[in-house]
Amino acid sequence: MKTRTGTNTKDRVSLFRIYLFGIVFLSGCTYSTGEKEIKYIIPDPVVPNEHVLGSFVAMYPDAREMTWSVRDRYFVVDFINKTEPTNAWFDTPGDWMLSKADIPFERLSGEISDAFHSSVYADWDIATVHRLERNTFETVYLIYLEDGLRSVHLYFSDLGYRIRAIADDIEHEDSPLILPEKAMEVIDDLFDEASLVDLWHDFFGMKICVKDEDIYKNVAFGTYHEWICTIWNITEEDVPENVMHSFLASDYGIYPVEHYQITENRTEVSYVFHFKKEDKNCILTIKSSGLLKSLVSY
């Protein structure tokens, strides 16, 4: 008969409870010098419930140096997972919601590395790199960059698609993503088997990035989670001949196009041309009929 080594999940939970008890026991203690007593008051630590603790131990059996806290309505634990500093979020019933781990740049995929080095941020200093995993969403990777007093967060998919860029002067936190039911119904209506990649809010409303048959698409929603439009990148070959003719015949046809996009809403499909005119970035939208719709420059 073989002797089983190691501990099972129940044993690990019990050991972790002993560890927590020790912390709580020390949260208020008195030390005597012989002349006077000095009472040290340590803030009461956050103690997760057994559902949260069980889920955590099951997911991260090798975790060490744990510190628990509460943010919003979630239990959050900062710890070392093997060699990676990590934090994980759980809701009260014990469902895992999010994990964010510090990783070296060299651990990123070749697609992400190539996308970064070919971007306008290639010369910026890399401060930190994170792997971000969230319940029901695909894994994304976050690169935090600095350039003097400027800084930016870049979010990439595992295939090197840059999902979004956030300047550091915009407050944000990588917290669990909650997809509104109405928005999920829209996603189900628009796509057969698209996977969720990211979700964020900006001045105009909510954006959801999905992967539809290996094509990344951004779906825009209004204030009440109504569908506004869907936009995604395309190549020059995907632009209809009449639309390309309209662009080349316009006053902007002399400028090289940096990239193309297609956007669709309930009533029409349009094509978007991104180019530079002198020192300005320009976005020209042309309807599928060939009519120029709008021009934005900044």
Per-residue pLDDT tens over the stretch 249-279: 999 999 999 999 999 999 999 999 999 998 8
The two structure tokens encoding residue 56: 């955590």
**Edge-to-edge order in the sheet of strand 74-81:** 63-71, 74-81, 84-90, 96-102, 125-134, 140-147, 150-157, 162-167
CA distance 131 to 75: 19
CA-nearest of 204, 206, 207, 208 to 195 is 208
CA distance 191 to 232: 14
Per-residue pLDDT tens over the stretch 129-154: 999 999 999 999 999 999 998 999 99
Q: What is the pLDDT of residue 8?
A: 54
Cα torsion through 107, 115, 230, 203, rounded to 10: 80
34 vs 294 pLDDT, higher one? 294
DSSP string, 240-276: -HHHHHHHHHSTTTTSPEEEEEEEE-SS-EEEEEEEE
Q: What is the pLDDT of residue 176?
A: 93
The residues pairing with 294 across neighbouring beta strands, listed in sequence order, are 285
Q: What is the pLDDT of residue 26?
A: 39
5 vs 62 pLDDT, higher one? 62
CA distance 130 to 101: 5
Per-residue pLDDT tens over the stretch 277-291: 988 999 999 999 999
Residue 171's pLDDT band, with cuts at 50, 70 and 90, is low
Q: What is the pLDDT of residue 170?
A: 66
Per-residue pLDDT tens over the stretch 4-54: 344 455 555 554 554 444 444 434 444 444 554 544 444 457 889 999 999
**Is the confidence at residue 183, as pLDDT, over 60?**
yes
CA distance 50 to 54: 6
Q: What is the pLDDT of residue 152?
A: 94
**What type of residue is 97?**
M
The residues pairing with 136 across neighbouring beta strands, listed in sequence order, are none
Tokens 């003719």, residue located: 245
Per-residue pLDDT tens over the stretch 206-248: 999 999 999 999 999 998 899 999 999 999 999 999 999 999 9
Tokens 């990035």, residue located: 209
Cα of first residue to Cα of last residue in the chain, in angstroms, is 75
CA distance 24 to 43: 9
Percent with pLDDT over 90 in the chain = 76
CA distance 58 to 28: 31
